[in-house]
Amino acid sequence: MQPVDLTTLRAVCAELRAGWLPARLEQVYQRDRVTIALALRTLKGRDWLTISWHPQAARICLDDAPPRTPDTFTFSDQLRHQLQGLALSAMPLISPWERVIDFQFASRPGDPPLWHLYAEIITKYSNLILTDDKQEIITAAHQVHPEKSSLRPVQTGELYEPPPPLTGSIPSCDESQASWQERVSLIPRELKRQVLETYRGLGPHLVTAMIQRAGLDPKQTADTLTQQNWNTLFQVWQEWLHILETEQFQPGWTENGFTVLGWGMIESVSSAQVLLKEYYREQLNQQTFKQIHHQLLQKVTHLIKKQTQKKEKFQERLQQSKDAELYRQRGDLLMAYSYQYEPGASSMQLPEFETGELVTIPLNPEKNAVQNAQGYYKKHQKLKRSRLAIEPLLVETNQEISYLQQVEATLKQLEGYQHTEDLQTLKEIQEELIEQGYIIPQRERSSSEQAQPITYDTPNGYEVLVGRNNRQNDQLTFRTAVDYDLWFHPQEIPGSHVLLRLPPGAVPDEPDLQFVANVAAYYSRGRESQQVPVVYTKPKHVYKPKGAKPGMAIYDHETVIWGYPDEIKPERDRS
């Protein structure tokens, strides 16, 4: 994940100073444990300024409004109590070459600041610290005890001290090329590392872009450069310093991230605010997607294994209960031939009633024939009761396994994050598993948005809807579908519910039916097979059993068609 370096931070600050100073702080909301949002209002309008001290995604930018859910964080309460209603009057960097912004709040624009909110955007050492006008720390997002850092503790009641300054030289437009070249070439090691460690205010992405802009390889050593190479690289260096001085930034996307200098840009963006908002939203979504996907898949796989083991035990006990009739027959034989019993016998050979074949019946020598028969009758009754108890449990376990396999198939279809809908789909699956009792919720917070089904078009232009998860499967089948539509599902295989939307009176051709069957086969557990049996029927012939879990359905009046998953390629939704 590309961090916010000094150049990017100065671009953001230049835009904020131009459009949002002075501003009134109307509201404070903490989005999560590492992100705060400040509602700023000027004569031009109102927007939310996000400040994050995330260890990989520390940033400052204008962002979307926070969700309408309660803010339960203590840190935001403290900021709200001290700052709400005041004017944001200035936001200088504490030093032109340090990534620390001093947000100054006063009673009115032009008045001396009453409070300082220091935003330290320093990757894993990022922090947000509130001080009064005497620089005494009132609160901090992350307090650092002296036991953890004797160099720079951060605690309430102590005086604020800026982060230790970097040791490199300060870049200057007035420095001559000879002096600059001498510094950079002092040690004949990798060029990128040498530039990075010689001067302040640089970051790995910036130095790489700078060297590549000069037509050089960041990995080559400084002693391999010709004088022409040095001249070109110094020109690029001067270009960077000129952009910083004039604040003529050009935000945009590069092949591997973003830039505010225009170097290597493949697409421009209206502002650095939009650039950071979109970049980190996608990066954090990807990070969250991977985490949730791994957790859910691991959980569901474990549950399937657990339920399968339970099923095997039930089947084993059910097999044992089939011997119940044998015990009853032994009891009947003992009662019929009890007169032949000899005291102390450990077994008896008696003829069966129907075939006359001799069978050996084990006996307890300490009991007589009638007592042994009663023992066999008790075993018969016990196994009979066991069978009656196990059969519904086995049916329930099979349903559990079928449901969990459906969820597993859906998770495996989400192979990677490509769109916000993918993350929303995962969250819906997570909420579904919480509702079904498979996952204990960590925090009660549901999303107000809902993911939309995956869509395709048939050869004749009919719309095809594919459920992303079991909630959507139920939604498509029992709420969206109308009498004119056709419902598709892999036959006896976990998979998505697929709906072919048809206008009144329309009759789909064979290519349309085959296409939808291919889609249903692709979004099923049989995706890796060459062909998958798929059924289709009218939605009115699809039913949900009483008490069934989400995504479970039974059907009749179906027609079977073979689906070929290899014929389908994944398609993004059109929302």
pLDDT tens digits, residue range 107-126? 999 999 999 999 999 988 99
Element (H, E) at 357: none
Cβ-Cβ contacts under 8 Å for 79 (sequence gap 6 or more): 28, 36, 117, 130, 139
Neighbours of 365 (CB within 10 A): 12
| Whether pLDDT at 574 is above 70 | no
| Whether pLDDT at 573 is above 80 | no
| Whether pLDDT at 98 is above 60 | yes
460 compared with 148, residue with greater pLDDT = 460
At 488, the pLDDT band (50, 70, 90 cuts) reads very high
Instruction: Please say whether the beta carbons of 450 and 444 come within 8 A.
Output: no
CATH code 2.30.310.10 for 6-140: yes
Q: Under CATH, which number does the domain 177-270 receive?
A: 1.10.8
Average pLDDT over residues 445-456: 68
* One-letter amino acid for residue 352 of the chain: E
| Whether pLDDT at 572 is above 60 | no
pLDDT (0 to 100) of residue 571:
58
> Where exactly does CATH 2.30.310.10 map onto the chain?
6-140
Helices (DSSP H) in 128-176: which residue ranges?
Answer: none
Sign of the alpha-carbon dihedral angle for 187, 188, 191, 193: negative
Average pLDDT over residues 118-136: 94
> Where exactly does CATH 1.10.8 map onto the chain?
177-270
Using CA atoms, how far apart are residues 430 and 441, in angstroms rounded to an integer? Answer: 9
DSSP 354: T
Cα–Cα nearest to 572, from 411, 455, 428, 414: 455
Residue with tokens 């960097």: 93
Instruction: Please say whether the beta carbons of 76 and 66 come within 8 A.
Output: no
Please state at what angle helix 227-246 crosses helix 177-184, rounded to 10 degrees. 110
489 compared with 165, residue with greater pLDDT = 489
| Whether pLDDT at 383 is above 80 | no
Mean pLDDT (the chain) is 90
Cβ-Cβ contacts under 8 Å for 155 (sequence gap 6 or more): 137, 140, 143, 144, 145, 146
* Residue 85 in tokens: 């209603």
pLDDT (0 to 100) of residue 445:
42
Which residue spans within 272-402 are E strands per DSSP? 347-351, 358-362
* Residue 389 C-alpha from the chain's centroid: 41
Regarding pTM above 0.85, the answer is no
Using CA atoms, how far apart are residues 575 and 570, in angstroms rounded to an integer? Answer: 15
Average pLDDT over residues 42-65: 94
Cα–Cα nearest to 269, from 249, 284, 288: 249
Instruction: Please say whether the beta carbons of 168 and 197 come within 8 A.
Output: yes
> DSSP 3-state assignment of 312?
helix
Instruction: Please say whether the beta carbons of 463 and 484 come within 8 A.
Output: no
Average pLDDT over residues 305-321: 85
| Whether pLDDT at 244 is above 70 | yes
pLDDT (0 to 100) of residue 159:
94
* Residue 103 in tokens: 């947000």
CA atoms within 13 A on the CB side of 572: 9
